[in-house]
A and B are shown apart, each in its own frame.
Chain A
Amino acid sequence: MRQGSRRRFMAGVGSTALALRARSTAEAQAPPRASPSDAEGRRRRLAAAIREMNQAAGLGVAPEDLDGAEAYAVGALLEAEAKLRTLSLDPGLDLPVVFRARRRS
C-alpha cells in the first residue's frame, strides 16, 4: 500500500491501543439508567427543545417536516447520549486536513 493513500484512508489504523483504551473507558462512563417515566419526560422536553431551536436558531425546517424530524432526531439524540457520548475517544484519532500541492502552470 502506498504511503499517501494509506495515510488518507487508514489514518489511525494500527492504533489498536487507542481502540483498546477507548473500550476500557466506555462502560465506566455509562450514565445512570432513567426510569420509563423519566425517559418519556425527557423525550417530551427534547421534542419541545427541537421545535424551539428550529425557531430561535432559524434552522428553517418547515412546519410540515417538524413532526418527522422531531420523531427521528429525539431517538437519535438519546441513543447518541447512551452509546456515543459515553465513549472516550483519543484526539489522536482526528483526521488531518490534507492540502494538495498545486504547481503553477
Chain B
Amino acid sequence: MTEAVAFLKAVELEDRYRTRRLSPAEVVDEHLSRIERLDRKLNSYITVSSERAREQARASAERWGKGAPLSTLDGVPFAPKDIFATRGVRTTHGSRLGATNVPTETATAVARLDAAGAVMLGKLNLLEFATGGGTDSGFGPARNPWDVERDPGGSSSGSGAALAAGLTTLSLGTDTGGSIRNPAARCGVVGLKPTYGRVSRHGVTPLAFTLDHAGPMARSVRDVARLLGAIAGADPKDPSSAQEPVSNYESALERPLRGRRFTVAPELVEPIEPPVRVVFEAALDRLTALGAQRVEASLPHVRAMNIACEVLIGSEAAVFHEENLRSAERRAKLDPVVRMYATSGRFYLASDYVKAQRLRLVLQAELEAALTDADVLICPADPTLTPKVGEASRLEGRERMWFEYGTVNLGNLTGAPALSLPCGFTPDGLPVGLQLYGRAFDEATVLGFAAGYEQATEWHERRPPVS
C-alpha cells in the first residue's frame, strides 16, 4: 500500500472500488495505520473509532462485491469535527466538559453519510465548543501539517489538518465565523460553508444559533460537491433547515471559466498582509488569463460587519453557556477564551443585538447587488500570515482576532454560500485560500467557478511535509 492511496479523492476511490482495484477494507486500514503513525505529531483526532470503521469497511466491501453499493460514497472514509453527535461514539465538543459524553442520537449530516455507506474513522479535534480564534482545544491543539509549529486555523482545526495530511478523505466542519474556511485556507484544502439552512444542524452543538452552519471539507472541489450532495436538504429535525431542492452539484463543475464574471469589493481586500496579497493578486490574474472577467463592486456596510458578528456571537454564546458558567466545577474545565467570549456577551446592549440583526439584511442586499453582474465575489479566506501554535490571538488580541477572521463573517451574517480553495503559498511555504462568495442557495455556481480555477492550477495537488 502506498502513500498515494491515502490521497485518493472520493471520486477516485469510487472508481477503484467499482473496478475492484481496491477494497474499502484496504483503504480504511491504510488510513488507520497512518493515523497511528502521523497523528502523534498533528493531534488532529480526538477519538479514533478503529473497530467501528473496520466493521463498516467490511460491510461496504461486501456491498461493492455484490455490485450493490449504497451510493458513490460507499466505503469512502470520513471524519466529522467532534461537535457532530454520534450515537455510541464519544462527542466532546473539543472540551473536557464533554470527555465522557456518549450521545444516544446521531447528527443528521453524519446519519446521511452513514446511510450512504461512508466509513467514519473517528472524531476530529476543534477549538473548544467551536469558539473562535485564540481558543484551545481541551485535548491539546491540532497542528498544521505544512509546519507543525504553525496553527492549522479553526475552529475546524482537526478537519483541516487531517485532510491535508491524508488522514481522512472527507470531513464535516461547522462555521459560525469562518470555522470551515479558515482551516481550509491554512491547511491548503477545500471547505464550503453552504447557505444557511442548506445542511441540517440537528445534533450539532451550537455556538451562535443564528450564525452556525455545517458543511463539507475535502481535498478537491469535486469531493466537496459530492459530499454536499449527500448531506444537503431539508430535515424535519432542524427547524432552520430549508426546503430548497438539492442540485446535482457535480454536474455544475464542467462549465469553463471563459466568459464568466467575478467581482472584487475593496472593503474585503484591505488590509491584507503583503505576502498574502501577492498570492491573492496572482490568483486574480490567473482567473482573468483563463478568460473570466473582473468587475468591481462595493459593500459599504462591511465596515460594521465584524462588530455585528461579535455582538451576535457573544450574546448567543452567553445564553448557550449559561449553565456551564454558573457551576464552578464546569467553569474550571472551560478554556479561558471561551469563558471570555461567553461572559463578555452578558454586557452587550440588547439594542446593539437588534441593530446587528438588521445589519445582516442590509449586507444581504449589498451582496445580492454585488452579484447581479457576477457569478462570485472573491476575497482572501484569511488575510493574515498563519501564526505559530499558541500565538493565535489570545485574550489581549481582540483586534488581531477580527483581522484574521475579517473576510469570512460576511458569509455567516448574510447566510450566503462561501468556499475556500488553495490558491498558492507564501514564501514560508504555507498555503493561502481563495474565498468565493455566491448567491443564496446557489452553491452550484460557486462550486463550478472554483472547479474551473482548480482544474487550471496545481495548488491542491501539493502535499505537506507531514503526510
Do chains A and B stick together as partners?
yes
Interface set of A (CB-CB < 8 Å, partner B) = 1-2, 4-5, 8-16, 18-19, 22-23, 26, 50, 53-54, 59-62, 65-66, 68-73, 75-77, 79-80, 83-85, 87, 89-90, 93-95, 100
B314 at the interface (CB under 8 A from A): yes
Flag if B243 contacts A93 (CB, 8 Å).
no
Interface set of B (CB-CB < 8 Å, partner A) = 195-197, 239, 242-244, 300-301, 303-304, 307-308, 310-311, 314, 325-326, 328, 331, 336-337, 339-341, 343-344, 346-349, 351-352, 354-359, 361-362, 364-366, 368-369, 395-396, 398-399, 415, 440-441
A18 and B365 in contact (CB under 8 A), knowing A10-B440, A26-B300? Answer: yes
- Among residues of A, the one whose C-beta sits closest to the C-beta of B402 is A79
* A-B CB contact pairs (8 Å), 21 listed: A8-B197, A9-B242, A11-B361, A16-B366, A18-B362, A18-B365, A23-B300, A54-B346, A54-B347, A61-B325, A61-B346, A68-B336, A72-B344, A75-B399, A76-B344, A80-B307, A80-B348, A84-B352, A84-B355, A87-B355, A93-B357
- Among residues of B, the one whose C-beta sits closest to the C-beta of A4 is B243
The 4 closest A-B pairs by CB, nearest first: A12-B361, A68-B340, A69-B343, A73-B344
A4 surroundings in chain B (CB, below 8 A): 243
B307 surroundings in chain A (CB, below 8 A): 76, 79-80, 83-84
Flag if B244 contacts A60 (CB, 8 Å).
no
CA distance A31 to B197 in the complex (A): 38
| Contact pick for B340, options A12, A69, A95, CB 8 Å | A69
A13 and B301 in contact (CB under 8 A), knowing A83-B307, A84-B352? Answer: no
- Among residues of B, the one whose C-beta sits closest to the C-beta of A67 is B395
Main secondary structure of the interface of A (DSSP, over half): helix
A95 to chain B, nearest CB (A): 7
B335 to chain A, nearest CB (A): 11
Flag if A89 contacts B359 (CB, 8 Å).
yes
A18 surroundings in chain B (CB, below 8 A): 361-362, 365
For A70, A80, A95, the residue with the greatest tally of chain B CB atoms inside 10 Å of its CB is A80
CA distance A70 to B359 in the complex (A): 25
Flag if B304 contacts A84 (CB, 8 Å).
yes
A93 and B341 in contact (CB under 8 A), knowing A13-B368, A85-B352? Answer: no
CA distance A59 to B345 in the complex (A): 11
| Contact pick for A68, options B344, B356, B359, CB 8 Å | B344
| Contact pick for B244, options A1, A22, A94, CB 8 Å | A1
Flag if A76 contacts B362 (CB, 8 Å).
no
Flag if A84 contacts B311 (CB, 8 Å).
yes
A43 to chain B, nearest CB (A): 13
CA distance A53 to B349 in the complex (A): 12
| Contact pick for B395, options A22, A59, A71, A85, CB 8 Å | A71
Flag if A76 contacts B311 (CB, 8 Å).
yes
| Contact pick for B365, options A1, A16, A87, A95, CB 8 Å | A16
Flag if A62 contacts B328 (CB, 8 Å).
yes
Flag if A59 contacts B346 (CB, 8 Å).
yes
B195 surroundings in chain A (CB, below 8 A): 9
A69 and B304 in contact (CB under 8 A), knowing A18-B365, A60-B325, A85-B355? Answer: no
| Contact pick for B304, options A53, A60, A83, CB 8 Å | A83
B440 surroundings in chain A (CB, below 8 A): 1, 9-10, 13
| Contact pick for B308, options A8, A61, A68, A84, CB 8 Å | A84
A87 to chain B, nearest CB (A): 6
A53 and B347 in contact (CB under 8 A), knowing A71-B395, A76-B310, A85-B352? Answer: yes
A68 surroundings in chain B (CB, below 8 A): 336-337, 339-340, 343-344, 395
Flag if A71 contacts B396 (CB, 8 Å).
yes
CA distance A18 to B308 in the complex (A): 18
CA distance A55 to B336 in the complex (A): 21
- Among residues of A, the one whose C-beta sits closest to the C-beta of B210 is A95
Flag if B344 contacts A9 (CB, 8 Å).
no
A78 to chain B, nearest CB (A): 10
B41 to chain A, nearest CB (A): 31
For A5, A60, A95, the residue with the greatest tally of chain B CB atoms inside 10 Å of its CB is A5
CA distance A1 to B242 in the complex (A): 10
CA distance A1 to B243 in the complex (A): 9
- Among residues of B, the one whose C-beta sits closest to the C-beta of A98 is B239
Flag if A94 contacts B197 (CB, 8 Å).
no
B400 to chain A, nearest CB (A): 12
A20 to chain B, nearest CB (A): 9
- Among residues of B, the one whose C-beta sits closest to the C-beta of A22 is B362
Flag if B362 contacts A93 (CB, 8 Å).
yes
| Contact pick for A76, options B314, B325, B337, B359, CB 8 Å | B314
B199 to chain A, nearest CB (A): 14
CA distance A18 to B352 in the complex (A): 19
For B325, B349, B364, B366, the residue with the greatest tally of chain A CB atoms inside 10 Å of its CB is B364
| Contact pick for B356, options A5, A9, A60, A84, CB 8 Å | A84
A50 surroundings in chain B (CB, below 8 A): 347
CA distance A4 to B358 in the complex (A): 20
Flag if B415 contacts A9 (CB, 8 Å).
yes
Flag if B242 contacts A93 (CB, 8 Å).
no
CA distance A72 to B244 in the complex (A): 39
B102 to chain A, nearest CB (A): 29
* 8 further contact pairs, Cβ within 8 A, besides A62-B325, A84-B308, A87-B304: A5-B243, A5-B244, A19-B366, A69-B344, A73-B348, A76-B307, A80-B348, A85-B351
